[in-house]
Structure 1
Amino acid sequence: MGLIETAETNLFTFEAFAAHTFYTDVNRALVQQALKHLVQREGDDQLTIVDMACGTGAISRLIAEEMAKYGLAHRTRIVGVDPSAEALRLAHKAMEELKLPLQADFIQGEAEDLPRLVQNADAAFFCNAIHLVPDKLAAFRQMDTILAPRGIFGCNSAFYEGTYVTGTERFYRLWTRRAVGWLKKEHPEVHLSRESKAMAMQWLTPDEYITNLKQAGFTAVETEYQDVDISLDGWRDLGQYWLFIDGALPGIPLAFGAQALETAVYQAGEELGLPKVPRRWLQMVAIKG
């Protein structure tokens, strides 16, 4: 599940896209959907909740706020895991600013480190990243190993077969076409890679996700869909993220790709008369058998 980060990729991050209200709303809905199973359980033991690939802790804070609403913050331990030390520093700082009576540990590590870092977790989240993982079944099995019996796993994606709202496909095609045209004009020396099959392009259907989850040991899987209106500014910000650039324009230097996608998204929106483009998020909550 490791993703390759470099000094260059750290200049093209997910943070601007993640700061949009719609992104917070869709993740809050998943957190609420998953945690309602947890808070119904009786007892007064500590509840351990894992946020895998936590980044700067946006999901961790949503979890903390939700547990506080139920009056369970004092019983909650959140474990955020991410490979980036700088992201973890920011996550820790932002969590402290919430001033909630819970324990939060932000630990540097990859997915393969999870069984060493935490066991018998009550819930785990892996948000907006499963589509980047080549072996999704292995990723789900990894999450299963750290969960206690009846543990809850929350996962979502807007990169799967079915994410395009009917009628919006033309926007994505035109956006890519205009970006490629801009590159040919401004940087004729660079060329798209024909061999590269970006991880972000390996999409599954919802049924394939459900099958993988059940094969990994989850007995019940809930799926919900959430339509989200994304402004052209939102799409621009996604087009500044290195993994999206690599998926849309494989083989193109990130700085050129970011420029091309930023210019082209407004061209495509104007040509089609679209100030915003909806996208359908897949929200999945699975219970360990």
Structure 2
Amino acid sequence: MSLIETEETNKFTFEPFAAHPFYTEVNRALVKQALAKLASYPQDKNITIVDIACGTGAISRLIIEEMQRLGRLSQLQLIGVDPSAEALRRAQKSQDEMNLDVKTQFIQGDAEDLPDIIQHADMAFFCNAIHLIPDKRTTIQKVSSILGPQGIFACNSAFYEGTYVPGSERFYRTWTRRAVGWLRKQHPESRLSKNGKATAMQWLTREDYISHFQDSGFAEVETEQKTVDISLDAWKDLGQYWLFIEGALPGIPLAQAAKALEYAVYEAGNELGLTEVPRTWLQIVGVKGS
């Protein structure tokens, strides 16, 4: 799976899915849990927070809002990092529209570039994207390396072993089957790629993540598994995101695959009598040892 943006991929963004209320609440819960740990920091200490794979700034906005609620906004330096120049442009625009006096930087790069971007940060977030990284252990180690003593790392994912609520697997199989059937009728020339398992499908268990955190110097690791109900409309929006499309229907042109997934999600819902499908997020907060 390629993570390189193009003019075409910029037409199939994560933004519509991220706008759904359940998504905001899942991530707000993680942000609150992590930022609560700042209670032990001196009240006058400046706080540097890195938002890795910040995308269009959904998590950055939640961080700013929570720091404002805690009365520590003036101490915040927020650094958003993402490989997509277009996403960063949207993130900056979104932050500007908040009309708050907050120190922010949005920098083009990915997890591998972190040591060249920042050192001795107080906290890092990596929300809804760590499953896209092939070598998750090395990435967690790199995040640890940019944090100071007792630095905090929070991440989450709904693509891990345990994300499927029992009984929900049938929905995903039906959605895919219906999408492939639509493609065969509408675009018989298109062929699914058989180049192995998509990166986004190479899932770890909760225990794997805990082990990688501990091996990377995080002495304290908290996890929570949070189940939310996701509407068919939200699944449709996820099916319009280019990285999800490449994972679900590899090798199919994005425009064709997006139409197939949009058609098929409602057909799957009708077939199974569903209007929403539950999914479990894994939420992790680690604190480094001194």
Q: Using structure 2 for the length normalisation, give the TM-score.
A: 0.96
Q: Which moved more, 1:112-121 or 1:45-54?
A: 112-121
Which secondary structure does the structure 2 equivalent of 1:262 belong to?
A: helix
The equivalent of 2:16 in structure 1 is 16
Question: 2:186 matched to which residue of 1?
Answer: 186
Q: Structure 1's 141 and 2: CA in aligned 2 closer, same or farther, altered over 3 A? A: farther
Point out the more displaced range, 79-88 or 11-20: 79-88
1:227/1:281 contact within 8 Å kept: yes
Partner AA of 1:236 in structure 2 = K
Q: How much has 1:95 moved relative to structure 2?
A: 1.4
In the alignment, does 2:69 pair up with 1:63? no
Given that 1:38 and 1:152 are in contact with CA atoms closer than 8 Å, whether structure 2 keeps it comes out as no
Q: Residue 146 of structure 2 aligns to which amino acid in structure 1?
A: I
Give 2:153's aligned amino acid. F
The answer to whether the 8 A contact 1:12-1:241 is kept is: yes
What root-mean-square deviation, in Å, do the aligned CA atoms of Structure 1 and Structure 2 show?
Answer: 1.4
Bigger drift between 65-74 and 86-95 goes to 86-95
Paired residues in the alignment total 289
Partner residue in 1 for 2:259: 259
Q: CA deviation at 1:218?
A: 1.2
TM-score w.r.t. the length of structure 1 is: 0.97
Distance 1:113 1:243 in 2: 21
| Letter of the structure 2 residue corresponding to residue 178 of structure 1 | R
Decide whether the 8 Å contact of 2:17 with 2:237 is kept in 1.
Answer: yes
Q: Deviations over 1:72-110 (max 9, x none)?
A: 001111111112222222212221222333211111222
Identity among equivalent positions (%) equals 65
Q: 1:34-93, CA deviations, whole angstroms, 9 ceiling, x for partnerless residues?
A: 111123322412100000111111101100110111100011111111122222222122
Task: Find the aligned partners of 1:2 and 1:251 in 2 and give their Cα distance.
Answer: 11
Q: Secondary structure at the match of 1:170?
A: helix
Asked if residue 159 in structure 1 is aligned to residue 155 in structure 2, the reply is no
The SS at the match of 2:167 is coil
Kindly tell me: are residues 2 and 33 of structure 1, through their superposed partners in 2, closer, same or farther at Cα, counting changes over 3 Å?
farther
Conserved? CA contact 2:230–2:279, under 8 Å:
yes
**Gaps (5+ residues) in structure 2?**
none
